[in-house]
Amino acid sequence: MFWYRNLIKLSTPIKSKTPITKNLLQASLSNFSTANQPPASAQAQPSGLGPTKPHDKPRVVVLGSGWAGCRLMKGLDPKLYDIVCVSPRNHMVFTPLLASTCVGTLEFRSVAEPIARIQPSISSAPGSYFFLANSTAVDTENHEVHCETVTDGTDTLDPWKFKISYDKLVIASGAQASTFGIHGVKEHAIFLREVHHAQEIRRKLLLNLMLSDVPGLPEEEKRRLLHCVVVGGGPTGVEFSGELSDFIRRDVHERYTHVKDYIHVTLIEANEILSSFDDRLRRYAIKHLTKSGVRLVRGIVKDVKPENLVLTDGSEVPYGLLVWSTGVGPSPFVNSLGLPKSPGGRIGVDEWLRVPTVQDVFSIGDCSGFLESTGKPVLPALAQVAERQGKYLAKLLNKICKDGGGHANGAKDMNLGDPFEYKHLGSMATVGRFKALVDLRQSKEAKGISLAGFVSWFIWRSAYLTRVVSWRNRFYVAINWLTTFVFGRDISRI
């Protein structure tokens, strides 16, 4: 660190106007040179956080920062545990509002909550950490997780490998978008699961709007550029189609008048849209979407090419923007783990959300499912389920530690109390401006309240506004909605 201490010495105010003594600077800095050495990361062996000692706080390692992991970390008591989170992103995405950010109704930052705000101890407590990294393997024998830093296009850095010993491990790394093995989906379609997906959609939509205005472009090419195709008629696909058609009617018609007649939205679904909702609500959604200009097409995609997609009946649909939202499946990381699996290939857990074959490993959220032996169905991949599981597990882990079982192998024969029970609170989806669906039935077969229209839209907005995690983001979401209402959506392409 010689170079550094001497650099500080040189930093006295330069008002004296004496030139910096070159020899001093040279002498002090010359023995620091990373350029001709191998990078520091290549010299050292993988290192990390070793096992905790019996008188230390036990360590909970959380893999992932989605609904499940973040709700868990929020509920864990930092006085009982050191909390270590490993995730490739340092924020939680408020997924139900993500579709609104693609067209500028909401700002990207309003739907992203930094983990340090959800669990402040992670950035300040001495033994708690957030690591921007991917977990590559779990060694359940030695109670260790293997990780690798995310370097994200920084070409001068090699990923740094390290290991973390855990007392309790919670795998909440989520699922990944399903492509059903269809060729070209990964290359040409955009998913809608992360903030960078929404950013990509927004940039591409605005690019296509501007490119289609260029003089001399053939009519067909204009229509292709401005044909937005959404594949998948679940809540995400329907909400995105609704936002898009509202954007077209409110903003494109005013700000892109030259091309307004060329832009169209098509929603392709193999079965029924919003299949988890009440029939009456589904008919309402279909009517409303059709009225606002969204074309609903029933079809199955066979192949995706750079400028068009092919349906199973051979017909080709040209597109300028293709958004893919057909549900999720297990990630390669989950597939690679030597743990028991639930139906559907998720990590199998028992009624207490434990992986029963090994000690101290739990799994929650979209990556986990009840084992067949529990006799319970695998729960749907919903924010609601993940959030409830995170809350339950935080309470359970706090109890385990209070009962003296916080350290590795310390809870072997402990009575864990009540198992996890899931009660569905209902589903919500918006279908465009001032219109939404609220289905408060506990299951598809049950009876209960279902609403459609302005009142539901109001419930939808209020529900989300009170759930956005921090006061800062609640405030920003409200401000974003207000400015969109007053000034229209933001169309700068940055």
Q: Which of residues 169-188 bind a second copy (CB under 8 A)?
A: 188
List binders of a second copy among 370-429 (CB under 8 A): none
Least distance in angstroms from the C-beta of 264 to a second copy: 8
Nearest Cα to Cα of residue 173 among 363, 399, 433, 434: 363
| DSSP-derived secondary structure letter, 341 | B
List binders of a second copy among 265-304 (CB under 8 A): 266, 272-273, 282-283, 286-287, 290, 294-299
- Round to whole Å and give the CA distance between 4 and 7: 5
Question: Phi, psi at residue 479, to the nearest 5°?
Answer: -65, -40
Question: By rule CB under 8 A, what string of x and - marks binding of each residue 206-235 to a second copy?
Answer: xx--xx-xxxxxxxxx-xx--x--------
Q: Give the Å distances, CA to CA, from 37 to 31, 34, 42, 43, 174.
A: 12, 5, 10, 10, 39
Radius of gyration of the chain (CA): 26
Least distance in angstroms from the C-beta of 494 to a second copy: 4
Contact of 437 with 286, CB cutoff 8 Å: no
Least distance in angstroms from the C-beta of 60 to a second copy: 16
List binders of a second copy among 90-119 (CB under 8 A): 90-91, 107-109, 112-114, 116
Q: Which is nearer to a second copy, 122 or 396 (CB)?
A: 122
List binders of a second copy among 455-494 (CB under 8 A): 470-472, 475-476, 479, 483, 486-487, 490-494
Q: How far is CA 144 from the centre of its chain?
A: 25
List binders of a second copy among 72-91 (CB under 8 A): 89-91
Tokens encoding 478: 């409200």
List binders of a second copy among 244-263 (CB under 8 A): 254-258
- The stretch among 20-28, 71-79, 173-181, 394-402 that binds a second copy (CB under 8 A) is 20-28
| DSSP-derived secondary structure letter, 182 | -
- The stretch among 148-156, 370-378, 408-416, 422-430 that binds a second copy (CB under 8 A) is 148-156
Q: Give the Å distances, CA to CA, from 369 to 65, 66, 92, 374.
A: 18, 16, 22, 10
Question: Phi, psi at residue 269, to the nearest 5°?
Answer: -140, 140
- Round to whole Å and give the CA distance between 303 and 317: 11
Least distance in angstroms from the C-beta of 239 to a second copy: 18
Q: Which is nearer to a second copy, 27 or 425 (CB)?
A: 27
- Round to whole Å and give the CA distance between 44 and 419: 45
Question: By rule CB under 8 A, what string of x and - marks binding of each residue 36-55 to a second copy?
Answer: ---xxx-xx-xxxx------
**Which residue of 75, 234, 318, 327 would you call a contact of a second copy, by CB under 8 A?**
318
Nearest Cα to Cα of residue 64 among 426, 422, 389, 371: 389
- Round to whole Å and give the CA distance between 225 and 262: 9
- Round to whole Å and give the CA distance between 376 and 391: 20
- The stretch among 136-144, 147-155, 370-378, 386-394 that binds a second copy (CB under 8 A) is 147-155
**Which residue of 80, 137, 311, 465 would you call a contact of a second copy, by CB under 8 A?**
311
Q: Which is nearer to a second copy, 224 or 376 (CB)?
A: 224
Q: State yes or no: residue 314 binds a second copy (CB under 8 A).
A: yes
Least distance in angstroms from the C-beta of 142 to a second copy: 16
Q: Which is nearer to a second copy, 110 or 384 (CB)?
A: 110
Least distance in angstroms from the C-beta of 207 to a second copy: 6
Q: How far is CA 223 from the centre of its chain?
A: 32
